[in-house]
Amino acid sequence: MKGNSVAVIGAGAFGTALAMAFRQAGRDVTLWGRDAERMAVLDVQRDLDTVFPGTALPAGIRATADLGEAAAPAVIVMAVPTQALRQVGEALALVLPQGRAVISAAKGMEQRTGAFATEILAETLGAHRFGILSGPSFAADIARGLPTAISLAMAEAPDAEALAHFLSSPGLRLYHTTDIRGVEIGGAAKNVLAIAAGIVAGLDLGDSARAAMITRGFAELQRFARAFGARPETLMGLSGLGDLVLTASSPQSRNYGLGLLLGQGRSPREAIRSGKLAEGAFTAAILAESATARGLEMPIVDAVSAILEERLSVGDAVRHLMARPLKGE
């Protein structure tokens, strides 16, 4: 890679954690956030208590609200939620020089259009090299330097390999691939399935039910991804099965936490308002619609979408799923 700098667009927990990992990789990092006052204070005081209590922003990371400054590095990592990606991309397009590598760390599909992250970036930014970063990872683990492995997909194999080496640190290991759509779908679908896993836990249906849900949910994820030409090895890897296992089994997961509240009897509106942003809440409906449009059967995703839209109660959803006709695996 030319140069030694990388920018992270988005100063939430995950973006900040990635910035810290990239710094551990020896890179000069610019961390951009939209709140000018907060970023100015952070750049001076280095206090990360709002995202990681008791932690300081490492030296070598520049905090800024100046998008032009953040656009200078040759490598840009977009760590903003999927539903905000288009707006941030349109603003970035005004200041982004040509020939950049722009990598999204968002996990979801755009609610209004059904677009994937790299499609949104291509529409808003024009001619650049786009990629996706996804896999089983919690921000707190990355920030602490705990061993974490995720996938990086770029259209060209040399780009994917070079950027994986460039961004990997002692604690964050990047595996490279050219299967962009497979990595994107794994990250988007697993969030919806994690909500289902949380519902199972909230209803106290037992570990056997949760294991069955994860397994059958993974079958749905594979079915959807294959329709877009995803590779089997991608789906069985970090950004597919690996991310699903993590997100659908840990209370640290925002999507699992949302499902837990739903299973415990909270209404969708209450559950969404009471927790942190869960991307699966925005992805469920468009994922279900996309599957139906392609003639794909995804009953768990359909059930989560119906619950979130208050078309189906949690109890009725479970009964409908258990009453489905028996068939072979």
Instruction: Decide the pairing of beta strands 101-104 and 129-134.
Output: parallel
175-184 residue pLDDT tens: 999 999 999 9
Q: Model confidence at 327, in pLDDT bands (50, 70, 90)?
A: confident
In the structure, what pLDDT confidence band is assigned to residue 3 with cuts at 50, 70 and 90? confident
Which residues lie across from 9 on neighbouring strands?
A: 32, 78
pTM for the model: 0.95
- pLDDT value of position 2: 65
- DSSP SS3 for 179: coil
What pLDDT is attached to residue 63?
Answer: 98
Is residue 1 over pLDDT 70? no
Counting residues of the chain whose pLDDT is more than 90, the rounded percentage is 93
| Mean pLDDT, rounded, of the chain | 95
- Residue 79 contacts residue 9 (beta carbons within 8 Å): yes
Instruction: Encode burial over 279-296: b for 16+ CB neighbours within 10 A, e otherwise.
Output: bbbbbbbbbbebbeeeee
Mean pLDDT of 207-226: 95
Please report the domains of the chain, with CATH numbers, ordered by start residue.
5-178 (3.40.50.720), 187-322 (1.10.1040.10)
Where does the pLDDT of residue 103 fall: very low under 50, low under 70, confident under 90, or very high at 90 and above? very high
Mean pLDDT of 83-96: 97
pLDDT at 311: 96
Using pLDDT thresholds of 50, 70 and 90, give the confidence band for residue 89. Answer: very high
Catalytic residues: 190
* Distance, CA of 140 to CA of 100 (rounded, Å): 28
Return left, alpha or beta for 108; rule: phi > 0 is left, psi -120 to 50 is alpha, else beta: left
Q: What percent of the chain has pLDDT over 70?
A: 99
Q: Is the dihedral of CA 104, 108, 113, 114 positive or negative?
A: positive
- Looking at the DSSP bridge assignments, the partners of residue 151 are 134, 175
Burial grade of 230 (CB within 10 A; 0-12, 13-18, 19 or more): buried
By three-state DSSP, how is residue 102 classified? strand
> What pLDDT, on a 0 to 100 scale, did the predictor assign at position 296?
97
Q: How far is CA 293 from CA 11, 86, 224, 289, in A?
A: 36, 24, 11, 6
Q: Is the pLDDT of residue 326 over 80?
A: no
* Encoded tokens for 58: 């490492």
Q: Give the pLDDT of residue 323.
A: 86
Task: Note whether 167 and 23 are within 8 A (CB).
Answer: no
